Amino acid sequence: MYRRGLTWLWMGAVGMLSWTAGCSDSGSGTNANDRDAASGSDASVDAARTDGGTDAGTADGGDASVPWTMPMCVWNQAYQENYEADTVADILAKARNCYVLLDPFESETARNAIPEIRQDGNIVGCYISVGTCEDWRADYSEMKQYCVSKAWGDWPGEYFVDRTDTGLEALMFQRIDKMANWGCDMVEFDNMDWAFDDDYRAEYGFQVTPGEGETYNQDLCQHARGKGMKCMAKSTTQGAEDFDGLTVESLPQEKDWWDHDDLQNILDAGRLGIIVHYNETDCQGIYDEYLGKYGNKLSFICEDRNLKKYVHFNQ
């Protein structure tokens, strides 16, 4: 299974490794160094398509001041795979009317930049792992009682949620409340599919059932909506068909591995559908391939192996 959420993405503890989103020695989340190379950072190479355009529909609901024309350009400070993720400085300089994913808990600079990022017409998505306890988070000591004791084998410092008690929901609600106060537009729910994986259940022994996982995800989404934010599903829309968007991730050797209808239904409904593709030598070619499968409402960002950075489409 694939995602920073139950994918190949790995997160290092603060001060040890970047908390990344990748295969090999990478993962999801934010670089612990705050990756704030300010104005001295290299300019991003932004690939603009001439086909596809922005003729797609507009998602229902949400802040009317936030543009929802599809496809959108995508910027990503939260998921680092093989190379450095987008910096806050580059986002502030170049992201306009885009979906911008941040980890505001890990980076104070990202958190403080949210109002300015939104002023440029961007939708700010904020990262949260709902299916794991992460031992570098400030609330880990309170949260760990709700998670299994065996660490996730591939991703040091993370432990799968064992049971979705009201106490765990209360802690997640506190995180979501902070996101709302910081000005996030969407909450991106990573690892929301952990409860659907029978192999992981057998290996790690968590008690939560798939139905309980679906209810838990819905509870968190409804809380986010009550705070004026939208919900971005990750890797699946199982039990989350009403979420406002879906992000999936792929590699050159692992393309289109998710349920095709999950992403297609999101796009057909005029909601935000994003593919984050990693470690690619031909980003344009892969985007064209995905457009052929999903149509021109698809939003796409690609980590270019040659440039060693993200390439942004639909700018």
Domains of the chain as residue ranges with CATH: 58-312 (3.20.20.70)
Average pLDDT estimate for 225-231: 98
| 303: confidence class by pLDDT, cuts 50, 70, 90 | very high
Q: Among positive and negative, which fits the CA dihedral 82, 280, 294, 262?
A: negative
How many residues are given for the chain? 315
For residue 180, with 0-12 CB atoms within 10 Å meaning exposed, 13-18 middle and 19 or more buried, which class applies? middle
Distance CA 233, CA 101 (A): 13
pLDDT at residue 121 in the model: 96
> Average model confidence (pLDDT) for the chain?
83
Tell me the average pLDDT across 35-45: 33
Q: How confident is the model at residue 82 (pLDDT cuts 50, 70, 90)?
A: confident
- The amino acid sitting at 242 is D
Instruction: Read off the pLDDT band of 28 (50, 70, 90).
Output: very low
Q: How confident is the model at residue 242 (pLDDT cuts 50, 70, 90)?
A: very high
Q: What is the pLDDT of residues 154-179, one digit of tens each?
A: 788 999 999 999 999 999 999 999 99
Question: Is the pLDDT assigned to residue 39 strictly greater than 80?
Answer: no
Q: Please state the rounded mean pLDDT for residues 230-243.
A: 97
> pLDDT tens digits, residue range 102-117?
999 999 999 999 999 9
Beta carbons of 200 and 147 less than 8 angstroms apart: no
